[in-house]
Chains A and B, each alone.
Chain A
Amino acid sequence: MTSPDPVVWLAIVFAGVGTYALRASFLFLFERFGDVPDGVETALEMVPAAVLSALVVPAVVAPEGAIAVIGNGRVPAALVAAAVAWYTESILATILSGLVALIVLGAV
């Protein structure tokens, strides 16, 4: 089920204000605080890999909540797409190859 309307709107407003604060942070505070501490910078560099993987892997391996590898077409389709992403670094090619693989595997 989709979240109720007020939740959707509040999520948009809070995420929007929070994201703006993240973007504005050092552009406005640089004079006062100087550079980001090295430790924090290292952690921030890890954010994309950790978060994206936390989004991708469950959506592929456990689309219904429980881990399901056998008979789950998303697993081979994602492997095909990952290989395409590796070689092409193209978002479009990755999406298309993954979708085509899933459709073909579903038809087999």
Chain B
Amino acid sequence: MNAEHEIKKYEVLPGHVFVAALLETVEQMSGFVLNEVKNDPEADQAHEIIGAMVLQGENTMLLTLETNKKSAAPLVSFMTGIETAALDAELLNDGITELINMVGGSARARLETTNYKFVLSVPFTLVGNGVKVVVKKRTDSFIARLVCDEIELLLRVYKL
């Protein structure tokens, strides 16, 4: 059998692939090394910025990165070299949008030869106090909480 045509089959959402893509992206672009910690569903998960992309394929997914301005500020500051005090909301939102764009691109390459192969939509951002994505109950999903100092990011993948 030609190895180029072997398709790896994931039985469940390959969330670990997206986590690896996020860890690499944040470290390369900002220098921060995130750690995955246990997610507490009871904890306050109200966020202010959600970067999102639709991943269209045999298994279509919604990829989101949730955070708040307090976390986004040091990330974008270290990415751009601009001091946190000089960062406006537009730059913070754009920084999170660009991060999810890079995570999506990186994950696409990692999943190219699997049953989760996909094409990317344009990235977009949802903003507002307590903004959240609501999907139908029992939607298959994956969640990972990643932290470094004052930075906290919530990565979610929903199977649509």
- The answer to whether A and B assemble together is no
